[in-house]
């Protein structure tokens, strides 16, 4: 007999019932799918012919877990809830085998853990990634996994949130058999059932478990090792508690503990932030009128103009994706250095186990160099990564115009300049786009894809599709000075340097922002990027700060002294032997500048430091939204999470503003405007869109340019 509904295909062959989930695209365990599974569990339980049940998928993946879009709605826990479904499978009176193909994640793996046996196709992935969403496995995973494999390894798997391969799962005893492919499952299933014949189906509720001293020690040692990485995070600690206490309790009590810990985490701002980040990264790829799958332009050869650090980093992305890449530079010595740098970087990835030897070999074979524009005439995509000067870039594009084939995509890696002005010198401006990589370009995930007024849809679609191929998180933005990321970092950095003039020490500013969760403080970031680079950007953007020299004065003074940051072992900080130290000379210089500008020095609280920097960041984000430079607030968050070290568990500057409440952000800006005299008057005027949304009691997320 066989029945199909939208969610499950059910059939019985002899004594074995096959319950195949078919809820496209990834079998998320929505309320409807849970009801269908529950219904066919009834059918299998009542059918006397059925001796065993196989839980599998008709799709390429077993299941992506609970439906995250249901979170916060009553559907999420409407019966049959996922925990109840797993408990039912655990107690099921007949043998249950889970057949995993593709991946079983979150609640999907928890369903499989509740089965008596698990078989998996080679290359499939099994994981409990809930920690990445600010929660923990909430359908028995924190209790069944440590009852199937070593508890300390189970905790590590849940706290890392990364899936393991089916081969690793076999080694750990998490799966009972591996399949070459799902076509071969019948034989494995019959073999497993034969082994089970003598026994009765497992029921974890009726078995005793304990946590050995060694395992508890290993668990606590792991927790101690991770303390720094888990700063600000709730759910990893909750997982450790769930395993440590749950393993000393009956499964019934342990599941009740899991439920309590899950609800605590699920109600936290960081769960909202991490789930926001998950969907924001998916939404960022949705650009009106653009379908990545429509990307008609095949990119089979890439050329990079400029063999500096950025050019090499960009090239490595394409080489590792197996795309032939030619590095062009007029200086042959620079090309040799570049080739050596690229080889060293890729081989170091291989030696650290991040890249296979085969990928490493293919990558180096795909690299070529050239010194003449004629040599890149056949490139499908050319990315210019030369000196950040508009005239220089325009001259490069004139050459590209002359030598590249008509359909070639011509991209600039500029981080601030006017791409419309670059497109103006091209015969085919519709082929011009910005691909703003972040240094180091082979490491940083973020790619700002900058569309000019004339960039064509096929060119944009091709670049978005290519971004996924080179494993980048792409966000489509419009043209303005600094696009989104760098434009917002200007006021953020302005406040940091201004507060040093007002009496805060650089390390006070940086440690306040690090404590907030930023990967680096704004001042140490300026030292890393180069004080001269900051000054150059300021001069290029002079219209923004004309007549307000205060906050740039310290950087220009340092540049005059040749203190350019880490690269000269002295910038705002000193770097003697690489160790960063506060420099009294800089504090004295800041005081002198403050006096010359009539700025009264005072103690500045950590709260003020954070508010002035982060509210300035968000305020600029609202201006960017109202100008249509970014499509949605989530796009801005994705940029800050993936390119500027903003803490993921806060969701991004716009999510932070929403979590703070826009009225509170508005009130904060108004207070700063009032309390900081003429400077505050000038720089803390709230963006009109922020005012509008705050007064309408709306969120940044509720606004969209889509
Ligand atoms: N819930 C809702 N939608 C999901 C989803 C999920 N769990 N997983 C994927 N999608 C959507 C995604 O937004 C996209 O939608 C489409 O499916 C294709 O995904 C109780 C509580 C599974 C590895 O954290 O990691 O179980 O954009 O483009 O690149 O303990 O999606 O097409 O409209 O990403 O092949 C735990 C999250 C949930 C897995 C597939 N599970 N998903 O990657 O396709 S919490 C996760 C992923 C839980 C239990 C707890 C990836 C993927 P759209 P995609 P992909």
Q: Specify if 271 maps to a domain.
A: no
pTM, two decimals, is: 0.91
The verdict on 577 and 651 lying in the same domain is yes
pLDDT greater than 80 at residue 263: yes
The verdict on 426 and 573 lying in the same domain is no
pLDDT of residue 415: 87
Instruction: pLDDT band for 658, please (50, 70, 90 cuts).
Output: very high
Three-state SS for 179-214 is ECCHHHHHHHHHHHHHHHCCCCCCCHHHCCCCCCHH
3-class DSSP state of 325: strand
Lowest mean pLDDT among 12-21, 276-285, 531-540, 572-581: 531-540
pLDDT of residue 3: 62
Q: Is the CB of 136 under 6 A from ligand 1?
A: no
Count CB neighbours of 505 within 10 A: 18
Lowest mean pLDDT among 143-157, 403-417, 546-560, 653-667: 546-560
Q: Specify if 289 maps to a domain.
A: no
DSSP state of 65: -
Q: From CA 424, how far away is CA 396, in angstroms rounded?
A: 13
The verdict on 218 and 352 lying in the same domain is no
Q: What is the pLDDT of residues 5-63, one digit of tens each?
A: 689 999 999 899 999 999 999 999 999 999 999 999 999 999 999 999 999 999 999 99
The closest of 663, 615, 605 to 492, measured between CA atoms, is: 615
Q: What is the CATH number of the domain that holds 106?
A: 3.90.226.10
Ligand 1 atom index nearest CA of 108? 26
Query: Which tokens sit at 661?
Result: 């409440």
Q: What is the CATH number of the domain that holds 696?
A: 1.10.1040.50
Q: Is the CB of 647 under 6 A from ligand 1?
A: no
Q: Specify if 277 maps to a domain.
A: no
**Smallest CA separation from ligand 1 atom 49, residue:** 107
Q: What is the pLDDT of residues 307-343, one digit of tens each?
A: 988 999 999 999 999 999 999 998 889 999 999 999 9
The verdict on 473 and 571 lying in the same domain is no
Q: How far is the CA of 88 from the centre of ligand 1 (A)?
A: 24
Q: How far is the CA of 176 from the centre of ligand 1 (A)?
A: 26
Ligand 1 atom index nearest CA of 110? 30
Supply the range of the domain harboring residue 653: 486-702
pLDDT of residue 575: 93
Mutation test residue for ligand 1: of 33, 59, 62, 65, the one with most atoms within 8 Å of CB: 65
Rg (CA), the chain: 28
Query: Which tokens sit at 36?
Result: 């269908």
Q: Specify if 273 maps to a domain.
A: no
**Smallest CA separation from ligand 1 atom 8, residue:** 64
CB–CB of 56/10 below 8 Å?
A: no
Q: How far is the CA of 180 from the centre of ligand 1 (A)?
A: 25
pLDDT of residue 198: 72
The verdict on 321 and 252 lying in the same domain is no
Of the residues 477, 505, 532, which one is the last residue of a structural domain?
A: 477
Query: Which tokens sit at 188?
Result: 């494995």
Q: Is the CB of 106 under 6 A from ligand 1?
A: yes
Q: What is the pLDDT of residues 491-527, one digit of tens each?
A: 999 999 999 999 999 999 999 999 999 999 999 999 9
The rounded Cα 414 to chain-centroid distance in angstroms is 23
* Helices within 73-127 (DSSP H only): 82-91, 107-114
pLDDT of residue 540: 76
The verdict on 504 and 524 lying in the same domain is yes
The verdict on 307 and 352 lying in the same domain is yes
Q: How far is the CA of 247 from the centre of ligand 1 (A)?
A: 29
Q: From CA 30, how far away is CA 703, in angstroms rounded?
A: 27
Q: What is the CATH number of the domain that holds 350?
A: 3.40.50.720
Q: How many helices (H) and strands (E) does the chain have?
A: 30, 20
- Pairing of the two strands 325-328 and 16-21: unpaired
Report helix, strand and coil shares of the chain as percent, to nearest 5: 55, 15, 35
pLDDT of residue 462: 94
pLDDT greater than 70 at residue 546: no
pLDDT greater than 70 at residue 548: no
Count CB neighbours of 649 within 10 A: 21
pLDDT of residue 113: 97
Of the residues 266, 283, 306, which one is the last residue of a structural domain?
A: 266
Q: Specify if 685 maps to a domain.
A: yes
The verdict on 330 and 406 lying in the same domain is yes
CB–CB of 621/636 below 8 Å?
A: yes
Of the chain, the end-to-end C-alpha distance in Å amounts to 48
The rounded Cα 7 to chain-centroid distance in angstroms is 30
CB–CB of 23/6 below 8 Å?
A: yes
Q: Specify if 565 maps to a domain.
A: yes
Q: Is the CB of 111 under 6 A from ligand 1?
A: no
Q: From CA 330, how far away is CA 159, in angstroms rounded?
A: 49
**Which residues participate in catalysis according to the annotation?**
110, 130
Query: Which tokens sit at 408?
Result: 């070639």
Residue 372, exposed/middle/buried by CB under 10 A (0-12, 13-18, 19+)? exposed
pLDDT of residue 201: 79
Q: How far is the CA of 704 from the centre of ligand 1 (A)?
A: 23
Q: Is the CB of 129 under 6 A from ligand 1?
A: yes
pLDDT greater than 80 at residue 543: no
Ligand 1 atom index nearest CA of 128? 36
Q: Specify if 275 maps to a domain.
A: no
Q: Specify if 666 maps to a domain.
A: yes
Ligand 1 atom index nearest CA of 83? 20
Split into its structural domains, the chain has a count of 3
**Smallest CA separation from ligand 1 atom 15, residue:** 282
Of the residues 219, 250, 266, which one is the last residue of a structural domain?
A: 266
The verdict on 171 and 244 lying in the same domain is yes
ipTM: 0.97
- pLDDT, mean of residues 76-102: 94
- Pairing of the two strands 164-165 and 409-412: unpaired
Q: What is the pLDDT of residues 392-431, one digit of tens each?
A: 999 999 999 999 999 999 999 998 889 999 999 999 999 9
Ligand 1 atom index nearest CA of 71? 21
The verdict on 464 and 515 lying in the same domain is no
Query: Which tokens sit at 292?
Result: 């990545």
Lowest mean pLDDT among 291-295, 402-406, 459-463, 535-539: 291-295
Instruction: pLDDT band for 295, please (50, 70, 90 cuts).
Output: low
Kindly report the average pLDDT of the chain as a whole number.
Answer: 93
The verdict on 319 and 255 lying in the same domain is no
The verdict on 451 and 505 lying in the same domain is no
The rounded Cα 529 to chain-centroid distance in angstroms is 22
pLDDT of residue 4: 59
pLDDT of residue 188: 84
Q: From CA 34, how far away is CA 321, in angstroms rounded?
A: 39
Q: How far is the CA of 64 from the centre of ligand 1 (A)?
A: 5
CB–CB of 297/260 below 8 Å?
A: no
Query: Which tokens sit at 27?
Result: 């079998």
- pLDDT, mean of residues 431-439: 95
Q: What is the pLDDT of residues 33-46, one digit of tens each?
A: 999 999 999 999 99
Q: What size, in residues, is the chain?
A: 706
């Amino acid at each position: 007999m066989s029945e199909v509904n939208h969610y499950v295909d059910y059939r019985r062959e002899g004594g074995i019932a096959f319950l195949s989930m078919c809820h496209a695209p990834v079998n998320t365990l929505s309320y409807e799918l849970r009801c269908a599974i529950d219904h066919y569990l009834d059918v299998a339980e009542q059918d006397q012919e059925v001796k065993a049940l196989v839980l599998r998928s008709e799709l390429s993946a077993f299941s992506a877990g609970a439906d995250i879009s249901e979170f916060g709605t009553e559907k999420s826990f409407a019966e049959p809830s996922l925990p109840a479904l797993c408990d039912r499978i655990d107690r099921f009176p007949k043998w249950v085998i889970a057949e995993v193909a593709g991946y079983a994640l979150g609640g999907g793996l928890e369903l499989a853990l509740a089965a008596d046996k698990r078989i998996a196709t080679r290359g499939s992935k099994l994981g409990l990634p809930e920690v990445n969403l600010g929660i923990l496995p909430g359908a028995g995973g924190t209790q069944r996994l440590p009852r199937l494999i070593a508890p300390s390894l189970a905790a590590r798997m849940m706290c890392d949130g990364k899936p393991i391969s089916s081969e690793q799962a076999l080694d750990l005893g998490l799966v009972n058999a591996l399949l070459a492919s799902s076509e071969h499952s019948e034989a494995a299933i019959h073999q497993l059932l034969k082994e089970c014949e003598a026994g009765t189906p497992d029921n974890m509720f009726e078995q005793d478990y304990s946590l050995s001293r060694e395992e508890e020690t290993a668990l606590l040692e792991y927790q101690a090792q991770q303390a720094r990485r888990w700063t600000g995070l709730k759910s990893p600690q909750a997982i450790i508690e769930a395993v440590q206490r749950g393993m000393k309790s009956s499964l019934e009590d342990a599941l009740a503990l899991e439920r309590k810990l899950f609800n605590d985490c699920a109600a936290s701002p960081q769960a909202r932030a991490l789930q926001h980040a998950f969907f924001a990264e998916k939404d960022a790829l949705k650009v009106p009128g653009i379908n990545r799958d429509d990307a008609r332009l095949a990119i089979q050869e890439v050329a990079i103009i400029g063999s500096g650090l950025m050019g090499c980093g960009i090239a490595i992305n394409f080489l590792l994706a197996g795309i032939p890449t030619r590095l062009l530079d007029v200086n042959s010595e620079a090309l040799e250095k570049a080739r050596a740098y690229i080889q060293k970087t890729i081989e170091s990835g291989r030696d650290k186990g991040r890249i296979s030897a085969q990928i490493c070999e293919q990558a180096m074979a795909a690299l070529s160099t050239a010194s003449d524009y004629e040599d890149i005439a056949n490139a499908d995509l050319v990315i210019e990564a030369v000196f950040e000067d508009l005239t220089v870039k325009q001259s490069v594009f004139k050459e590209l115009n002359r030598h590249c084939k008509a359909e070639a995509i011509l991209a600039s890696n500029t981080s601030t300049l006017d791409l419309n002005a670059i497109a103006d010198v091209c015969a085919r401006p519709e082929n011009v786009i910005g691909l703003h990589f972040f240094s180091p370009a082979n490491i940083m995930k973020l790619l700002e894809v900058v569309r000019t007024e004339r960039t064509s849809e096929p060119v944009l679609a091709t670049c978005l599709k290519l971004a996924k191929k080179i494993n980048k998180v792409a966000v489509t933005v419009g043209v303005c000075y600094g696009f989104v990321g760098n434009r917002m970092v200007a006021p953020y950095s302005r406040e940091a340097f201004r507060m040093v003039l007002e009496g805060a020490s650089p390390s006070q500013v940086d440690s306040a922002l690090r404590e907030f969760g930023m990967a680096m403080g704004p001042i140490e970031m300026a030292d890393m990027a180069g004080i001269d680079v900051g000054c150059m950007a300021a001069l290029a953007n002079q219209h923004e700060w004309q007549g307000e020299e205060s906050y740039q004065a310290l950087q220009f003074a340092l540049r005059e002294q040749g203190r350019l940051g880490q690269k000269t072992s002295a910038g705002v900080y000193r770097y003697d032997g690489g160790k960063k130290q506060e420099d009294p000379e800089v504090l004295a210089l800041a005081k002198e500048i403050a006096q010359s500008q009539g700025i009264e020095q005072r103690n500045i609280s950590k709260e003020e430091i954070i508010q002035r920097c982060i509210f300035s960041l968000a305020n600029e984000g609202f201006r960017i939204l109202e100008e249509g430079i970014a499509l949605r607030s989530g796009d801005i968050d994705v940029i800050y999470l993936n390119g500027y070290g903003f803490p993921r568990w806060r969701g991004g500057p716009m999510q932070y503003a929403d979590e703070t409440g826009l009225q509170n952000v508005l009130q904060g800006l108004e207070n700063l405007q009032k309390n900081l005299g003429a400077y505050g008057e000038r720089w803390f005027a709230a963006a009109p869109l922020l005012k509008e949304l705050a007064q309408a009691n709306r969120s940044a997320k509720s606004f969209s340019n889509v």
